[in-house]
Amino acid sequence: MVKAYISGVAGRFPKSNNVQEFWQNLVDGVDMLGPTRWPPGLHGLPPRSGSIPDLGTFDAEFFGYSETEARHCNLLLRLLLEVTYESVVDSGLTLSSLRADKTGLYLACTFSDADVITNSAATDSEHINLRSTLVQQLNTWYRFQGPVMTVDTACSSSVSALQMAVTDLITGRCNYAVVTGVNLILSPNCSQSFNRLGMLSPNGESHVFDISANGYVRSDGVAVVILARNPERCERIYATIADIAVNCDGYKEEGIVYPSRSSQSNLLRSLYGEKLIPTSSLAYVEAHGTGTQAGDRLELNAIMDALCDGRDEPLLVGSVKSNMGHCEAASGLSAVVKCILSIYHGMVPACLHYKTPNAGIEGIPLGKIKVVDTCHKLKGRISIMGINSFGFGGVNGHLILMSYKNPPDEPKRSGTYLVPITVRNEEGVARIQTFLEKHSENIALMRLISRSMLSCDPRQQIRGYATVNLPEIVCRPSATVTYTVKVTTGSAFGAGTDANVFIDLQGDLQKSGKIDLKKSETQKNDFERGKTDEFLLKTKDVGHLQRIVIGHDNKGHAASWFLGHVTVHSSSLDFTWTLPCGRWLAKDEDDGRIVRELLPLDKCPFSQEPCVSVHWSPRNYHHQPLWLLVQDIAWCTNMPHADLLQIDVFKRSLQESDKILRSMEIELSVTESLEKGAAFKPANKVGLVCLTAVNIGLVEVLKASGIRPDGYIGSGLSEITVAYLDACLGHKQCLQVALAVGETLDSLLSQGTGNPVYSISLHSDFVHKLGPKTNILAYMNNTVMLAALPTRDRNYILKQVEQAGGVYSELTEDATLYTRLPEQISSILEKKLRSIIPSPKKRTPMFRSCSHPDSNSHSGARQAVGAPYFSSLLQRAVNQHQCVGGLPKEARLLSLCIAKNCTQTEVNCSRSGQTEIHCHPKTQSVLQTLGELHKLGHTIHVGHLYPPSSPLDCSTPPLSPLVTWDHSINRPLPDWCQFSDRVKNRQKDVYRLPEADLERSLYDPLALLIVHAWAAVCGSKDSLQSTVLHSLVITPELMMQECLHGALIHVHQAKMAFSIQAEGGVVMTGQFERPGSDVDLPLVPGYDVDQNENVAKTQDDCEHEVETEEVVWEDSWLEFINAVL
């Protein structure tokens, strides 16, 4: 039985800013430990620990924190705020959905070192920096409505928190659970206690399971996982928690820090068995494995007792603490993150520093247990892993992870897809673009991004969108292809290698898999300095090469290798790719990697690789009204592009139109007409019905995408569609109206009453010169109009257009539209329309007509969208220019034009300040339109543009590494010495005016106060720094020496202010600041003082006539300032 579903993960670990960097460090065998935050050798503490990088950074603006709050809030809270958000992004869920549901928040935290510093500092922060309030402060921002709690069972806190969350999910107390764990090593004090107990490694090295194990190494870590109650609530699922349990043995005689073999084995037996999870199905166990002699021995012996019977092969074990140290309260979640990443990548990273097994581990020599000392590839489609987590207080925990795998994917679906983007900075844009280019064939992954916070967060500073075009793949019949691989070794000293080199060719069809170059047909493996080795590889067709993975096994006398470049030639495509490297593949050179991924410099011209295009802009938008202009369909002669059927909402709308037409016994399928690209004369029955159905389908796409215009403009026959938008007509009525109007126009054309129609580009001021026989049908904008020209006068009128500097083009040979109809035909049309619209509805103020101006809205026939309305529509000129020009200046115009060639209908706004977006009848244009609206700040929903899919499984890469932050400010961290009592005892909480200075009556009280306020701000008179005191306010009646005895100076560092208080009250208040560079005065000792400074001077006074007195420096600031005053 599945207990919970893991939907999102995120974390920060030593030398790892995200889970992607964490995984890379694991597979590369990087020792993530480094120097401690205090001096080496301090109190005999170990010299190394694990430290999260860039700990002083925090995106305060994003979370709405002032700089003061950001500087003084708990460092754990700053980490948790950001990493929790990253986990939400990773899950594909949105904050609004988590906040609206029952979501629990569980925090595993044992130590909060900085509390003693932040709580003793005088600040104006609103936060109470206590570990007990940390989870509440975290939830103040996230606003989850489920259970909220802090869990502390020492090193097993994470798994204990997971167990509580799973229990709450099962019982229905919550539907989602956000489980967090955090640990920071800031103070040396706790490490001193652990060191006295012999728990820490003296040399700061983590030799887990090794005979040289001598203690664990403390480490930072923060990790967050999101659990869901059932799969229907998930957008993605990495793995399921098949079972989880905890027990306690803290009462044993050996003490709470000593582990119990029997208690651990009993816990494991309670979770595994024939009726539960069979031990034979276990692929791997992530042990607690801290690197202590007793802990490692007893844990692996307990694993052998409970899990190794009946297995055909040794049980694989490892511990992430060998790579990064022990992050204590967060250690259980760090193990979960490692296992989830192992499931995704299909391999378990090596356990570092393991050479000779601990002699007390019984299962290793018996062949029942094997420590993973090299990267191990997982077998089988489903992987089951166990995770141990034990607390030094005696609480033991274990959970069972089972990888979540969907059935095999369907063939890739070609088409164009839209991915909206909301990110913090340009780095975020680059990350997403690189990610989409790498995974562009994964449509379900693009859908996940489009539904996640990466696409819909209004707090982000950059909005944009990516369009991904997936071409239709044409499979090549060749099953086996010969590849000529040329490997050039660099010319650096010692560049050659004796190791065994392998290569993996990866293309758009498949991967070749790992190929040992020794087994190639050339059977050469020289790889000498400056030489090129050629290999013939016969393998499966990988298609167009996208990348290669090349490396070696690090064996041989001289394994280090400097690789210059590689070329790969495909016999089937007759194309050669060049893949540059120019780096070492060596454990002791460069970055220590012996395997590298190389990308080709150029693409094959026949490549069917997807195309990713990204558009973005900084956020500087404000709300502007959006108006939808539906351009006239009267002059369209072809159906729009058939790729619109890729959009399911559009396709369903057309199918509904077909259903309606069948019910009317009309032998016409709009869907088939679109697929065939049907052609027809302008403004005829078939064309009007089909194009009206297409228009309705497009507006349905806009509706489904969340586009809610502030108003609609109908132009010509497209007012039928706008009437549908304004709820004046239903879907069936729209098609019926289009059919009735089309039949009327066909009847007129059959009588030969039409005239040729031209699109004329000429400024409106010259229109009157064309003469009365020019019948203007539509004013599209200030320079473009449509005119019906009598055949007899056509050449004369067109010549006048040319003479006036205009241009023209013929739209149709004959048309009878937007001109007066014969009375009999008009009455027949109105009769049909009354039967279609028996109860006309009035159009709302959102509906603006280009044929029925709002100035005539007092007429009932103009306001009600019924038979007279549409009959009149056919007989009136369309004034699109006037209608668009009447919009607010700041309005945005979305122009929907379904004609493929829009020379006559594409309108550019005549008013400055208006933004216009043109949407054309093609999927690419529709998606770009939605993307542009998103970029301008409109909320869009694009999930419906993707094929439906089940929750993504463990084969989907994490999204959390795509999140970027504004980390431009690096705030200072607490210094180790602030945690020392000896340092604290030497410092005074408040500064007291020295009695010795007060007893000497020769000093001006103001001089005394200024000098000692300066000293208080700087800490003491012996540590004076450049300081500006300003905004000084004094109480004159207290400015006497006898009133200053016992006066105290209080300094508020956060507010950069001070106050001096005596028994009689506040003597002086003021503020201070520390300039970036030294000021010129008064640090230069001694300068001339104008004795007559306050005496009025005439203009005749010259500088040399001013009476001055030199103030002499006597090695005392008090003397000096007193003399100046």
What single-letter amino acid sits at 719? E
> 312 is written with which tokens?
């055909």
d(CA 62, CA 42) in angstroms, rounded, equals 38
For residue 10, give the DSSP letter.
E
According to DSSP, the residues that pair with 537 across neighbouring strands are: 483
717, β-bridge pairs: none
Q: Which residues contact 1011 (CB under 8 A, 6 or more apart)?
A: 1021, 1117, 1118, 1121
Q: What is the torsion angle, in degrees rounded to the nearest 10, for the CA atoms of residue 946, residue 952, residue 958 and residue 962? A: 20
* Token couple for 595: 């395997």
Place of tokens 């069936």: 732
**DSSP letters spanning 31-79:** ---EE-SS-TTGGG--SEEB--SSTTB--TTTTT--HHHHHHS-HHHHH
CA distance 949 to 834: 46
Closest CA to 1118 of 1036, 1021, 1035: 1021
**Residue 908 DSSP label:** -
Distances in Å between the Cα of 410 and the Cα atoms of 486, 823, 1002 are: 36, 60, 94
Beta strands in 269-327 (DSSP E): 284-286, 315-318
Residue of 207, 326, 398, 852 marked catalytic: 326
The neighbouring-strand residues paired with 1061 are: 1048, 1066
Other C-beta atoms lying within 10 Å of the C-beta of residue 1109:
10
Please report which helix (H) or strand (E) contains residue 168, including its range: helix 157-171
Q: Are 502 and 512 in contact (CB under 8 A)?
A: no
The catalytic residue among 72, 109, 127, 155 is: 155
Question: What letter would DSSP give residue 123?
Answer: -
Annotation marks residue 288 as catalytic: yes
* C-alpha radius of gyration, the chain, whole number: 39
**Under a CB-based contact definition with an 8 Å cutoff, are residues 1082 and 1124 in contact?**
yes
Sheet with 878-879: list strands edge to edge.
807-815, 755-761, 784-788, 775-779, 878-879
Cβ-contact 352, 243 below 8 angstroms: no
Of 72, 127, 207, 288, the catalytic one is: 288
Helix (H) or strand (E) segment spanning residue 983? helix 981-986
Taken in order 723, 727, 733, 734, is the CA torsion positive or negative? Answer: positive
The answer to whether residues 598 and 548 touch, using CB atoms and an 8 Å cutoff, is: yes
In terms of Cβ atoms closer than 10 Å to its own Cβ (0-12, 13-18, 19+), residue 732 is middle
What is the largest distance, in Å, between two alpha-carbon atoms of the chain?
Answer: 119
* DSSP code per residue over 517-569: GGGSTT------TT-EEEEEEEEE---SEEEEEEEE---SSS--EEEEEEEEE
**b/e code 833-866 from CB counts within 10 Å (16+ = b):** beebbeebeebeebbbbbbbeeeeeeeeebbbbb
Here the tokens at position 162 are 């997971």
| Cβ count within 10 A of residue 1047 | 22
The residues assigned a catalytic role are 155, 288, 326
